[in-house]
Chains A and B, each alone.
Chain A
Amino acid sequence: MSNALRTTRLGVFAALAVSALALAGCTAGSPTGDPAVADQVVVALPGDIDNFDPHTNQLNIYQFAVRDLVFSTLVKYDVALEIQPDLADFEVNDDATVFTFSIDPDAVFQDETPVNADAVIQSLERAAGTEGSIWAPRLADVASYDATDDTTVTITLNSPNAAFLAGLTDIAIIAPSNFDDVASAPVGSGPYSFTSWEPNKQIELTRFDDYFGEAAPTKTIIEQPIADQQVALNNLYSGTVDVMTTASAATVAQVDASRATVVEPDTSNSLQLIEYNSSGKLADPRVRQALAYALDKDSIQEIAFGGGGSTAWSPIPESSWAYAEQDGYPYDLDKAKALLAEAGVSDLTFDLEILTGYPEAESIARVWQASLAEIGVTLNPKVEELSVWLDKYIARDYDATWNAFNVGGDPNSFFDVIMTPHLGDDYPNTEVTDLVAQAKSVSDQDARAAIYAQLQEIIVADLPVMIVQSSPVAAIVGTKVTGYEINPLGNSLLAQVAVTK
């Protein structure tokens, strides 16, 4: 054996022996805080995060891994997607035009400056500005921000908006001194401060001891991007990782319950859908309905989603107060053929854009393609990387595209995020536009639910978009992990996570 190899082997054994001895001395107990809890929790993320500005980054992974730990918002969702106060208690007037927020007087930023009305308004104005904020549309209708006193902010809208508070849950309050550097080193008022980011290696967060809310039990959170779920699960078993925030149905099926625990929310708000270009090849609603009759949802549920999730047709999740069940299109190739004939369409061929990295999307395409072939329709699935898919999506340069969307706690989010671009372009439908605006302007939840019921009926009848199903959401944690929750959006709630010793 060559000398180089022999030395390496010896070196490894020697080093392993030394490390083992060193580790044995390490578990003597933590210097501060609860001695029954480890100093550090290691979280495996499905990917890396490279932009830490909460006003430009809308990715779910950024939201739960960094934003919700480093920043506070005026209001936030709890694990059941109900709105709760975060930085401030709130009052809303009867017609939802004036929102008054009483900021917690103990709230302080991680750079020791106080979270007062001025600081909050500065962040809101930054988020409302059009120089670099993705949330500007949510604040577009604000008439004024007033600091009625040092800890009170009053926001007045031009017109009533019952979904305004839900919109605020995504708008983080940034320390005013941090505006220029927030994308690389964010400073907020949340339970953890941002310590460091090593690209593609890890993000480190450290407990903020002056946090105004419930104290976090763990001193340090380390987040590591591990794209392969098998590798992440193996690390979980061996103890180098404590929490795996995202697990597919396939991974969940093979978890050994004695070595790890699967955590699932009660319901899933994570929808997978097909969006159509309703002014292109598929402009005739009868054609879209025919395509819906050819969607074998039961097979797709088995094959793509491991039998999990819900195959309901409505774009509003079943757990929502606004959910109205729709009959939809039970799988029926004969009806599909009849509708195509009625529309005078034969030999239809269309492209389906799919984003790479979503095996369920490819499974959906394959099952649908097979059914469509039986009625003489050719579906061409095109799997593309993010930048290409995004370009086409934004320019509406597609016949049909797969998409995934997490519907927020307020049903308006679906219509705002998914439908608004279509309504202004390929699917101009004044009835829908008016109903969406009406549902926002009414405060009474029952009245809103009635309007959303109408909307769901129209969407499912017209099919400008077609809901495939909600996908099951799950995380996997080590057996000694406590305080971990996951909400129906698939967002991990990490602020109270700890590993018992």
Chain B
Amino acid sequence: MNTAQRIGFQVARLALVLFLVSILVFLALRLTPGDPAILLLGPQAGRDDVAETLAALRVQMGLDQPWPVQYWLWLSDLLRGDFGESVRNGVPVVTLIGAAVPSTIWLIVLSVLVSVPLSIVLGVAAAARRGGILDRAVRGVTTVAIALPGVWFGLLLIILFSVTLRVLPAGGYVDPFTDFGGFLQHMILPVATLSVFLTGVLTRFVFAEATDVLRQDYMRTSAAMGIPARKRLFVYATKNAVLPMITIVGVQIGALVGGAVLVEAVFGLGGLGQLLLSSVLNRDYQVVQGAVLLTTIVVLIVGFLADIAYRLVDPRIAR
């Protein structure tokens, strides 16, 4: 398969996944109890003298049509690039998502930037001294890190650093281009919370890979050639152990987005996760559908890019 065919195949696969996801999210929303029109009007929606208003609202929201028609209308708009509007306030879905996305992206990017170097150092160092204290400590701590419920840990951090010590804000998001210092201050705790899980996963992975690499024959050969231990460890072992990490991070992006949803709710960052949460609770169909699809697209593209990056970086893979 040449490159053009490979790319074509990937695009086709992307389209198929998106189509399936669109049907899934559409159905999931409509099968769940809860009516967006009733939610908008509140408890008075049941009154006889409000029945006409309720019916008119449902027509306005497109809820009076049978499901296949609703799906078709949504899909045909989508294919033209129109993600629709929130049924609660008419704001275009793209506007709502665009406003929410920056804090989520910052959260994920910063968490990756913190977790990757940290996990490389910890994993390689632990692998270098197999059986030592560091080895056991790293394995123990990463197990806890992976199992730790992010929401609980985040709240704990708030209690410690915001309520008791009062050195960091308890939540909120500040635009980095307006106030970079405030932005960093507000991101420390959320990034710490999200990084815990990712660091745990990555460290164990690096540790396993590094252990494997250090056992290889070429490591003994390079030692025999007189290459110093430090260079062997930090250059050769690290490079080879880290290569597959590109793929791992690409795969973990999905889990990261899910984790970000929880962290955003705890810290009130007003990101994509909170938008999704409030839209689901309000049954704002268009926003949920649009946000889920866009997230799916991004996750798939990141995975796709990770795949390309891996092929570029690893000299062993034939082009």
The yes or no answer to A108 lying at the interface (CB within 8 A) is: no
Q: Are A199 and B278 in contact (CB under 8 A)?
A: yes
Compute how far the CA of A4 lies from the CA of B50 in the bound complex, rounded to whole angstroms.
59
B126 near A: Cβ within 8 Å? no
Alpha-carbon distance A393/B35, docked complex (angstroms): 13
Q: Determine whether A125 belongs to the interface, using a CB cutoff of 8 Å to chain B.
A: no
**Chain A, Cβ-Cβ closest to B119:** A2
User: Considering only CB atoms, which chain A residue lies closest to B114 in the complex?
Assistant: A4
- Decide if A257 is an interface residue (CB 8 Å cutoff): no
Q: Hey, which chain B residues are within 8 Å of A320, CB to CB?
A: none
- Closest Cβ of chain A: how far from B88's Cβ, in Å? 5
A97 to B124, CA, bound (A): 85
Residues of A within 8 A of B166 (CB): 234, 237-238
Chain B residue, CB-CB nearest to A394: B46
Asked whether B184 lies within 8 Å of A200 as measured between CB atoms, the reply is no
Contact of A198 among B33, B38, B99 (CB under 8 A): B99
Complex interface bits, A401-430 against B, C-beta within 8 A gives 1, otherwise 0: 001000000000000010011001000000
| Cβ of B28 to closest chain A Cβ, rounded Å | 14
In the complex, which range does the number of interface residues on chain A fall in?
A: 35 or more
Q: Check if A434 is an interface residue, CB within 8 A of chain B.
A: no
| Interfacial residues of chain A within 267-285, with CB under 8 A of chain B in the complex | none
Q: Tell me which residues across on chain B come within 8 A of A11, comparing CB atoms.
A: 184
Q: Is the CB of A51 within 8 A of B171?
A: no
Verify B96–A199 contact, CB threshold 8 A. Answer: yes
Q: Are B270 and A198 in contact (CB under 8 A)?
A: yes
Query: Which of B38, B89, B283 is A183 in contact with, Cβ under 8 Å?
Result: B89
Listed stretches A84-92, A129-137, A375-383; interface member: A129-137
A421–B114 contact, CB under 8 A? no
Residues from chain B with a CB closer than 8 A to the CB of A396 are 46
**Is A50 a contact partner of B163 (Cβ separation < 8 A)?**
no
Residue-by-residue, is A201-232 near B (CB-CB < 8 Å gives 1, otherwise 0)? 10000000000000000000000111100110
Contact residues, B150-192 vs A (CB, 8 A) = 158, 162-163, 166, 169-173, 179-182, 184-185, 188
Chain B nearest CB, measured from A413 CB (Å): 12
Given A50-B88, A224-B172, does the pair A199, B99 have CB atoms closer than 8 Å? yes
Question: In the bound complex, what is the Cα–Cα distance between A69 and B206 (angstroms)?
Answer: 57
Question: In the complex the two chains form, is B39's CB within 8 Å of A386's CB?
Answer: yes
Q: Does A15 contact B (CB under 8 A)?
A: yes
Query: Which A residues between 146 and 204 are near B, CB-CB below 8 angstroms?
Result: 181, 183-184, 198-201
Whether the Cβ atoms of A201 and B90 lie closer than 8 Å is: no
A343 at the interface (CB under 8 A from B): no
Interface stretch, picked from B15-23, B52-60, B135-143, B299-307, is B52-60
**In the complex, are the beta carbons of B158 and A231 less than 8 A apart?**
yes
A253 interface hit (Cβ, 8 Å) = no
A356 and chain B: residue at smallest CB distance: B281
Q: What is the CA–CA distance of A387 and B179 in the complex, to the nearest angstrom?
A: 39
The answer to the question of B12 belonging to the interface, with a C-beta cut-off of 8 Å to chain A, is: no
Q: What separation, in Å, do the CA atoms of A59 and B117 have in the docked complex? A: 48
Partner of B53, one of A5, A19, A133: A133
Any A CB within 8 A of the CB of B289: no
Is A132 in contact with B53, judged by CB distance below 8 angstroms? yes
Q: In the complex the two chains form, what is the Cα distance from A479 to B164 in whole Å?
A: 20
B12-69 interface (Cβ within 8 A of A) = 32-35, 38-50, 52-53, 56-57, 60
Q: Is B128 part of the binding interface, using a Cβ–Cβ cutoff of 8 Å?
A: no
CB atoms of A424 and B48 under 8 A apart: yes
Q: How far is the CA of A424 from the CA of B283 in the complex (A)?
A: 29
Q: Are A12 and B184 in contact (CB under 8 A)?
A: yes
Q: Are B60 and A132 in contact (CB under 8 A)?
A: yes
Once bound together, how far apart are the Cα atoms of A196 and B86, in whole Å? Answer: 17
How far is A160 from B163 in the complex, measured between Cα atoms in Å? 57
Which chain A positions have C-beta within 8 A of B88? 50-51, 183
Q: Which of B44, B48, B114, B188 contacts A134 (CB 8 A)?
A: B44
Q: How far is the CA of A234 from the CA of B60 in the complex (A)?
A: 43
B158: min CB distance to chain A, Å: 7
Q: B275 on the interface (CB 8 Å rule)?
A: yes
CB atoms of B275 and A12 under 8 A apart: no
- Is A234 a contact partner of B170 (Cβ separation < 8 A)? yes
Instruction: Let me know if A369 is at the binding interface, CB within 8 A.
Output: no
* Interface check A303, CB cutoff 8 A: no
Chain A residue contacts of B100, Cβ below 8 A: 199-200
Distance from B261 Cβ to chain A, minimum over Cβ atoms (Å): 12
Residue of A8, A226, A386 near B268 (CB, 8 A) is A226
Distance between A355 CB and nearest chain B CB, rounded to angstroms: 10
* A181/B57 in contact, CB under 8 A: no
Answer whether residue B118 sits at the interface, using C-beta atoms and an 8 A cutoff.
yes
Interface residue? A431 (CB, 8 A)? no
Assess whether A2 is in contact with B42, with CB atoms less than 8 Å apart.
no
CA–CA, A340 to B113, complex, Å? 67
**Which of A12, A51, A200 touches B274 (beta carbons < 8 Å)?**
A200
CB-CB < 8 A to A130: which residues of B?
Answer: 52-53, 56
A395 to B47, CA, bound (A): 10
**In the complex, A3→B121 CA distance in Å?**
10
Answer yes or no: B295 CB below 8 A from chain A CBs: no
* B181 and A15 contact, CB distance less than 8 A: yes
Flag whether A56 is at the interface (Cβ < 8 A).
yes
- Residues of B near A395 (CB, < 8 A) are 46
B41 pairs with A387, CB closer than 8 A: no
Complex CA distance for A48 and B284, rounded to whole angstroms? 14
- Per-position 1/0 for B264-290, Cβ under 8 A of A: 000010110011001001111000000
Provide the residues of chain B in CB contact with A12, threshold 8 Å: 181, 184-185, 188
- Whether A48 contacts B281 in the complex (CB less than 8 A), given A59-B42, A181-B90, A421-B47, comes out as no
Listed from nearest, the 6 A-B pairs whose CB atoms lie closest are A387-B34, A15-B181, A394-B46, A201-B270, A130-B52, A200-B270
A-B contact pairs, 7 of them (CB 8 A): A12-B185, A15-B180, A19-B181, A50-B86, A201-B172, A231-B162, A231-B170
Can you name 7 extra interface pairs (CB under 8 A) apart from A5-B118, A393-B43? A50-B86, A136-B50, A183-B90, A199-B100, A237-B166, A387-B34, A390-B45
